[in-house]
Amino acid sequence: MLNSAQRARARCLREGGVAPRNPSVSDADILGGTPLVLGTDCSGVDAPMWALRCLWPRQPCVHAFASDNWIVAEQVVRANSSCGRFFTDMLARSPEQIPPHNLYVCGFPCQPFSTLHNGTKLFAEAKAKPFRAVLSVLTRSRPQVAVLENVPGIVRARSQLERALRRIGGYCITMLRLDPRLFGEPVCRPRVYIVCVRLDVLVCSSRGAVDTMVSEILQSIKKPVTCTAADRLLPHTHPLVRKRLVNTRRTGQSTKGATATSRPPKWKTDHHAFRKRFPAARAGGVPPVRLLTGAREQEAWQLLCSVRPSLQAADVSQSIYRLPCRDSGCLPTITPKGAIVVRSLGRAMLGIEKLLIHAVPVHRLVIPPSVNETALHRLGGQTMHVHCVAAAILVGCALVDWRSPAARSGVSPPSVGVAWPVSWLGAWPEQSNSNPCQSNGDNKPRAKSRHIRATPRQPSALGVSSAGAPRPRPQRQVAAAPLKRPAVDVATKDLRALFG
């Protein structure tokens, strides 16, 4: 990945597609010997640190600070990194407590922006408050490169997000749509990576030149998926798998569910409606899945296998109406509580495998004795994919002239003018493998979603695009009945109060 990106960067500078500010930066070396000083928030398993170790294994990297409000994450970070300072609450610290750094990475909480969160208030949600601390770091510390990560649903608050970042001033902001499948990894995890580079250290002299270089770098490191998820997971002979198979109760021993005199659980009604919708659906016919103790999960997997013979993997932790499925050999998006079943293995994934599928080098990962299986599932479901965050860091570092005095200085300069217009680059792979209920409909109608459009209409006072040009008004007829105020308008008002 690094060598391809270095060649693409050098080619852009050499061929004149990018106008360098310093002619000496046209070589292939990206960092130019400058040591990276990393700061992370919402650290989790600390995927950015593992990404740097993979990108520049011989380059010295200082881990200045990290933060997480979960004690398990703190234990994992301290066991695997010589972190200078660890903050248990990123909202309670003062700007003076943050050590100097030139690379900042944060995957701020995604619950307010998830498409599964109906009726969300977006940035007005309580769980969106860490974003305020992120803006404070960029405003006060002003690192040379910053990488922020969140779910695709954040495009519902696109205008508020861009406005809040551009008001910091002095940064070139690029939004990247990245997914592990773009880099040959067999797992679906589409994310938005926000790459911010300070204008005074930027190697390019225009917005178009930045987009050209970023596109060249992303194209140079892309590769097709040539393996399946089973190739990335542990074999049955591995001691961790054998230990879990021995300790897990066999199918049919689960005591979960209602008593004989109570009403049948809701999932049985849903499964009955699924059978009526798909006559071929039946329980049985496939071997029971190991490491699954719930009757609902077992039956949901059997019903799906009966109507989709080509099914390879599915997350059976959700309702049968919204259960993610994959036929291509890739895995659906990993969640902390997800029960991912891989058909070729005949079992559900372990917690350590959720980290492994996200390219965390578990053979080098030091796991404290206090971290149990449930904690590993949560760590694996919340982490960034190491290849994706490495690609975002690589793009950010490639845009910096590391030989300039401003890039080598640890002093935080004031804001340099206003930020450039924001660009959105990259595209997520097609989501072709979905639940049959989601594509063909089902007996039970799903509740109407209150999700907000990707490009919501804004009030006239906010009708300005990121580039400053007036936003065209949509040509559509408005119904005579009064419309409810969109949640995005409420979020805009609260965002003004929150960020000034």
Model pTM? Answer: 0.83
Mean pLDDT of the chain: 81
For residue 129, is it within any domain?
Answer: yes
For residue 346, is it within any domain?
Answer: no
For residue 384, is it within any domain?
Answer: yes
Q: How many Cβ atoms sit within 10 Å of the Cβ of residue 279?
A: 8
Q: Which domain holds residue 114?
A: 2-227+380-425
Q: Quick one: average pLDDT of 453-475?
A: 38
Phi-psi region of 23 (alpha: psi -120 to 50; beta: other; left: phi over 0): alpha
**For residues 176 and 384, is the Cβ–Cβ distance under 8 A?**
no
How far, in Å, CA of 175 to CA of 450, rounded? 25
For residue 193, is it within any domain?
Answer: yes
User: Mean pLDDT lowest for which of 14-18, 255-259, 309-313?
Assistant: 255-259
Largest Cα–Cα separation, the chain: 80
For residue 418, is it within any domain?
Answer: yes
DSSP 425-468: E--PPP-----HHHHH--SSPPPPP-PPPSS----GGG-B-TTS
pLDDT digits (tens, 9 = 90+) for 65-111: 999 999 999 999 999 999 999 999 999 999 899 999 999 999 998 88
The pLDDT of residue 203 is above 70: yes
For residue 284, is it within any domain?
Answer: no
* pLDDT computed for residue 108 by the predictor: 92
pLDDT digits (tens, 9 = 90+) for 368-418: 999 999 999 999 999 999 999 999 999 999 999 998 888 887 776 766 666
Q: How many Cβ atoms sit within 10 Å of the Cβ of residue 413?
A: 12
The pLDDT of residue 25 is above 80: no
pLDDT digits (tens, 9 = 90+) for 99-131: 999 999 999 988 888 877 677 778 888 888 999
Q: Quick one: average pLDDT of 302-315?
A: 92
Q: Cα separations (Å) of 357 from 152, 186, 232, 354?
A: 20, 8, 6, 5
For residue 11, is it within any domain?
Answer: yes
* pLDDT computed for residue 442 by the predictor: 36
How far, in Å, CA of 216 to CA of 180, rounded? 18
Please give the backbone phi and psi of residue 135, each rounded to the nearest 5 degrees, phi first: -60, -35
Distance of CA 88 to the CA centre of its chain: 22
More confident residue, 444 or 214: 214
pLDDT digits (tens, 9 = 90+) for 142-198: 999 999 999 998 988 889 999 999 989 899 999 999 999 999 999 999 999 999 999
- What domain count does the chain have? 1
**For residues 398 and 217, is the Cβ–Cβ distance under 8 A?**
yes
* pLDDT computed for residue 111 by the predictor: 84
The pLDDT of residue 274 is above 60: yes
* pLDDT computed for residue 457 by the predictor: 38
How far, in Å, CA of 161 to CA of 346, rounded? 43
Domain holding 61: CATH number?
A: 3.40.50.150
Percent share of the chain, pLDDT over 70:
79
* pLDDT computed for residue 431 by the predictor: 65
For residue 412, is it within any domain?
Answer: yes
